[in-house]
Amino acid sequence: MAEPVAAAAPTLGQALAWGRERIPALEARLLLAHACGSPVSFLLAYPERSLPEHAWRTFTELVTRRVAGEPVAYLTGTREFYGRSFQVTPDVLIPRPETETLIDVALALADQRPGPLRILDLGTGSGCVAITLALELPQAEVVAVDCSTAALAVARRNAMSLGANIALIESDWFYQLGDEVFDLIVANPPYLAPDDPHLQEGDLRFEPRQALVAEWNGLRELVAITLYAPDFLAQGGWLLLEHGWTQAKEVRGMLLDVGLFDVQTWRDLGNRDRVSGGRKRWMWE
C-alpha cells in the first residue's frame, strides 16, 4: 500500500485520489464525506480545498478499516433504506434493497384493507421495516419486537430521529405479546444455513450472526414464526416473510400447512423470490 500523499493534510481532491487507490471510488467519497461532515457534492465541487488534519486522520483510519473488510454502513453509522437514512451499528443487520420488497408488498396489501391497521414487525433490528411502515401508513399502529436489547436501542434512536411513532417490545418472536392480534405481520428473520459460504464473504462477516443464521438449513425461525402467527392474526390478516431466494417453495408449504389462504411469493428487483405470504381466512369463508 502506498504511503499517504503527505505528512500534512492534503486537499479534498488529493485525499479522494488516495482513497480511490485502495477502495472503490463511491466508497471513498462516502467515507471522506463522513470524515469531513460534508455532503459528497461539496467534495466534488471544491477539490482544491484543504482537508482539516483531524478529518484526514479519520479518513485514513476509515479507509484502512474498509480495506480490512468492515462494512461502509458500520464505518459511517448509517444506511439508506426506502429513501430514508437509518442509523446502524454492529448490533443490527445492515438494511438491504431486497428488504424493500417486503415494504412494497405490505403497502399494497394495506391499501386493500379498510380502516386503521395494526402491524407487527418481528425481529425489527434497526427498525427500518417498522419505522418505514409507520411513516408510510401514519394511521397504522405499529409494534416492533426484537430479542436483542442492543438492537431495540438502535431502533428507538431511529424512530426518534425520523419521527416515527412505534411501540418497541423486547420479545423472542411472539412470546411477550399475550393475546394481541394484528392485521399484518411482517418479518425478516434469520434464514441462512450455518454452513452457508456467504457467511465468510463481504459484509456478512461483520454482521450479528444471530440475525443471519438459523438451524434446519436456515428454516428454523421461519418455521417458528409460521407456526404461531395464525394465533396473532386478525381475520383476513396477512403474514409476510422475507426469505432466501431458494426457500420460497418450502415457505409456501409452511404457510399452507398452518391453514393460510392466498399463499404466494413476490420477487425482488433482482427477479429473485424474496417474500412469501398468506392470509388468515375470514369467519365466513
> Would you state the pLDDT for residue 3?
46
Give the alpha-carbon dihedral of 147, 151, 153, 156, to 10 degrees. -90
Mean pLDDT of 152-175: 98
d(CA 277, CA 241): 6
Instruction: Summarize pLDDT for 213-266 with one digit per residue, the tens.
Output: 999 999 999 999 999 999 999 999 999 999 999 999 999 999 999 999 999 999
d(CA 270, CA 99): 12
Mean pLDDT of 171-197: 97
Question: Is the pLDDT score of 16 beyond 90?
Answer: yes
> Would you state the pLDDT for residue 53?
92
Q: What number of CA atoms fall less than 13 Å from residue 242's CA on the CB side?
A: 26
Mean pLDDT of 19-45: 94
User: What pLDDT band is residue 115 in, cutting at 50, 70 and 90?
Assistant: confident
Mean pLDDT of 109-113: 91
Q: Which helix (H) or strand (E) holds 145?
A: strand 141-146
Instruction: Summarize pLDDT for 81-100 with one digit per residue, the tens.
Output: 999 999 999 999 999 999 99
Instruction: Summarize pLDDT for 97-107 with one digit per residue, the tens.
Output: 999 999 999 99
Instruction: Summarize pLDDT for 2-15 with one digit per residue, the tens.
Output: 444 445 679 999 99
Written as nine digits, the cell of 279 is 392470509
> Would you state the pLDDT for residue 233?
98
Question: Is the pLDDT score of 54 beyond 50?
Answer: yes
- The type of residue at 283 is M
The pairing of strands 141-146 and 166-170 is: parallel
Instruction: Summarize pLDDT for 223-236 with one digit per residue, the tens.
Output: 999 999 999 999 99
Q: What percent of the chain has pLDDT over 70?
A: 97
Q: What angle do CA 275, 239, 110 make, to 5 degrees?
A: 90
- Exposed / middle / buried, residue 33 (Cβ in 10 Å: 0-12, 13-18, 19+): buried
> Would you state the pLDDT for residue 99?
97
Going from the C-alpha of 32 to that of each of 11, 28, 56, 90, the distances in angstroms are 11, 6, 8, 21
Question: Is the pLDDT score of 137 beyond 50?
Answer: yes
Backbone angles phi, psi at 77, to 5 degrees: 80, 10
Question: Is the pLDDT score of 59 beyond 90?
Answer: yes
- Residues facing 5 on adjacent strands: none
Is residue 186 within 8 A of residue 102, CB to CB? The reply is yes
User: What pLDDT band is residue 1 in, cutting at 50, 70 and 90?
Assistant: very low
- Residues facing 184 on adjacent strands: 119, 238
Q: What percent of the chain has pLDDT over 90?
A: 92
Indicate the average pLDDT of the chain.
94
